[in-house]
């Protein structure tokens, strides 16, 4: 079996630290296997830079299996690259053409300050979770699986919302820098299930308040968030979050 390789021109955002003024640097890569993932391609670049005595490109990564939500960059203007419902670590080089120029930059948002190169501080999302994205009620031991009947359609909606990995692509793609798809998914997955009902009002109030405090923008139904979400999270979760917040505020 013959492995295809391609040559690429990379325009990568380089920024020494959060206080430095960044700029794009140009790199040429040759004989890149199309079987490589995008992050493996960056590994090859960093090996090349290290041999040349240059500073390697800093980028976030962890599991490299599309689960953890750590990786993330904007490739040619699209968060996580051109393939739908695909994380950057699961994007393969076969989706690019010979001689193509790839413009690679970090997720940009007022709430995501750049640490270095492609690495951004996304801890604002953690603080939204800490504000209420959990169930603190003592539920005792492990209940029987059928002890609390949940309609199949409701369970499916909850599981769809819980698929959010918190990568931040939705925020980087939103023209308003809104975190409402992320927050909506986290509120939805608990508000739909009976285990989350005792704290649903306080959860909605606290998580929305924290989202606003962190400096995220508001949703204007651009749907860019939904388009780039690697897990296909629906904006219907934003509508559900709004309903939960209104109910919590009025009652």
From its phi and psi, is residue 126 left (phi > 0), alpha (psi between -120 and 50) or beta? alpha
Q: For residue range 64-81, what is the model confidence (pLDDT) as tens digits?
A: 999 999 999 999 999 999
Crossing angle (nearest 10°) for helices 236-250 and 200-213: 110
Residues 162 and 43: their CA atoms lie apart, in Å, by 31
* Domains of the chain as residue ranges with CATH: 5-115 (3.10.20.30), 123-137+149-250 (1.10.1060.10)
Q: For residue range 221-247, what is the model confidence (pLDDT) as tens digits?
A: 999 999 999 999 999 999 999 999 999
Q: For residue range 100-151, what is the model confidence (pLDDT) as tens digits?
A: 999 999 999 999 999 999 999 999 999 999 999 998 876 567 666 667 788 9
Give pTM, 2 decimals. 0.93
Q: For residue range 178-237, what is the model confidence (pLDDT) as tens digits?
A: 999 999 999 999 999 988 999 999 999 999 999 999 999 999 999 999 999 999 999 999
């Amino acid at each position: 079996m013959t492995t295809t390789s391609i040559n690429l021109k990379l325009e990568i955002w380089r920024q020494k630290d959060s206080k430095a003024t960044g700029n794009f640097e140009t790199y040429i890569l040759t004989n890149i296997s199309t079987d490589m993932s995008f992050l493996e391609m960056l590994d090859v670049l960093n090996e090349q830079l290290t041999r040349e005595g240059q500073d390697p490109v800093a980028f976030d990564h962890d599991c490299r299996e599309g689960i953890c939500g750590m990786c993330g960059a904007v490739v040619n203007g699209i968060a996580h690259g051109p393939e739908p419902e695909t994380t950057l670590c699961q994007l393969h080089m076969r989706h690019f053409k010979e001689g193509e120029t790839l413009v690679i930059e970090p997720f940009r948002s007022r709430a995501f300050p750049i640490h270095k190169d492609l690495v951004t501080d996304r801890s604002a999302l953690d603080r939204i979770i800490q504000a209420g994205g959990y169930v603190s009620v003592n539920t005792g031991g492990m209940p029987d699986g059928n002890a609390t009947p949940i309609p199949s359609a409701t369970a499916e909606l909850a599981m769809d919302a819980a698929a959010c990995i918190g990568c931040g692509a939705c925020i980087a793609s939103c023209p308003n820098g809104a975190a409402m798809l992320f927050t909506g998914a986290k509120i939805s997955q608990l508000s739909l299930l009976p285990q989350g009902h005792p704290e649903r009002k306080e959860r909605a109030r606290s998580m929305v308040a924290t989202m606003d405090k962190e400096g995220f923008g508001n949703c204007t139904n651009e749907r860019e968030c939904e388009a780039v979400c690697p897990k296909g999270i629906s904006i219907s979760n934003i509508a559900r979050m709004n309903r939960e917040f209104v109910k919590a505020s009025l009652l």
